[in-house]
Structure 1
Amino acid sequence: FAPKEGTNWGVEVTAKDSHGKIIYNADGKPSKVKIPMGDGMLRDGSSQPLYFPAGHLRSGVFKGMATILEERGYGDMEKVHAECPKFACDPKIKRCCCRRMLYNEPDFVNVKSNLELISETRGFRVLFLPNFYCELNFIEQCWGHSKRIYRQYPPSSKEEDLERNMIEALESVTITQMRKYARRSRHFMDAYHKGLSGQQAAWASKKYRGHRVIPNSILDELEKANIT
């Protein structure tokens, strides 16, 4: 399960100097460097290095999935395959391969992106919206309103006209309209929470546009209206 001698796991990236400029090789191609993976986290919250430590016979070499899992309390990992053929794991078998077991570990499942890590160092939190973000975030509806207004202005190649039209389009969204879009977003949130599909949510939101939430009887109404 460990890499062959002379090879190692890591993320290959383009090398850059201290000024952030790309370093090129003699053949003119960008130079590449391999960045080691960060430490894992054991269930007790302690750090788990994924490479053998200094002083070890294989210092700096990736431990391999079997060793990493054994350090997490799993036994007899040498008898478990590295990965299933074509990654087609049998859902009925929990210990089918090291790859599946390791990728289901909490710290591997919940790996933070670089955007999240960088934002946290600056005191910000990144919020990733779900697939239907345009419906759940009413600011998107405000953008759509402004875009529609902007398209109604006559075409122009003058920068001052474009800037003026853009500002006027943005300012055309009133507080009343913002509240309307926010209420519509809440309707979609409530509808998806009740298990409705996109088509059903749109129908329910239109039918109950003046209500704060969609009634609990909505599923019966959808069935009567033959909305699937």
Structure 2
Amino acid sequence: MIFPSDHPDYLDQPKGIKQVFLECGLWPNKGLVMQCKSTCEVGMTDCCACCLIGNQPDFKKQQSLVQEVIEAAGHKCIFLLKSHYELNFIEFFWGAVKCYLADHYNYTFDTLKENMLKALAAVEVSTICKWEHWMQRWMHAYREGLGAKEAQFKVCKFSSTKYTSHHHIPNQVAAVFDT
């Protein structure tokens, strides 16, 4: 938000968060810290400026510029959790690219530039699909309410199951991908 051009003291200057809150009638009499020193209490909506603005309907609906640009180009934009590498299969892809580069690198920038496209192409699409299915299994385990250790056990158990028929997928396996 920018101050209007008829405001001579603040011509084309961005408004601060306090000014925005004052205009919206959200600034509390007691004042407000920008962000809590520790984690915000569960259920609190106005303990800090971050919580207060984060709970506003228009703020929740606003898409990021990245998402707007990607969707305007006709693509889907999917944000994955930062803290759960097992739910983000692109991390496996970059790991494989880094591994390739480490094996084909003599610590010069020219070699890195030369091998980057080869490294990206070295990861098979079928491998990426397997990582994506692995991620779906993790998500299914978390949807069941399992903790990290229990989810890991379930995903590993699923991955180590040997099936005797290639003509039939067991119902419990098919159910994982239906959710």
* Interval containing the TM-score (normalised by the shorter chain): 0.5 to 0.7
Identity of aligned residues (%): 23
Tell me which residue corresponds to 2:81: 130
Shift of 1:91: 8.0
Deviations 1:60-88 (A, max 9, x none): xx6864x745xxxxxxx9xx953477699
Does 2:40 correspond to 1:35?
no
Tell me which residue corresponds to 1:27: none
Tell me which residue corresponds to 2:95: 144
**Structure 2 Cα separation of the partners of residues 91 and 138 of structure 1:** 30
State which of 185, 189, 194 in structure 1 corresponds to 2:144. Answer: 194
Tell me which residue corresponds to 1:157: 108
Paired residue secondary structure (1:170) = helix
**Residues 84 and 196 of structure 1, relative CA distance in 2, 3 Å threshold:** farther
**Structure 2 Cα separation of the partners of residues 63 and 182 of structure 1:** 42
**Structure 1 Cα separation of the partners of residues 77 and 53 of structure 2:** 26
**Structure 2 Cα separation of the partners of residues 137 and 104 of structure 1:** 27
Q: Which has the higher strand share?
A: 1
* Contact 1:135-1:185 at 8 Å conserved across structures: yes
Q: Which amino acid aligns with 1:107?
A: D
Normalised by the length of structure 2, the TM-score is 0.55
Counterparts of residues 166-181 of structure 1 (less than 5 Å): 166-181=116-131
Normalised by the length of structure 1, the TM-score is 0.46
* Contact 2:105-2:112 at 8 Å conserved across structures: no
**Structure 2 Cα separation of the partners of residues 100 and 82 of structure 1:** 17
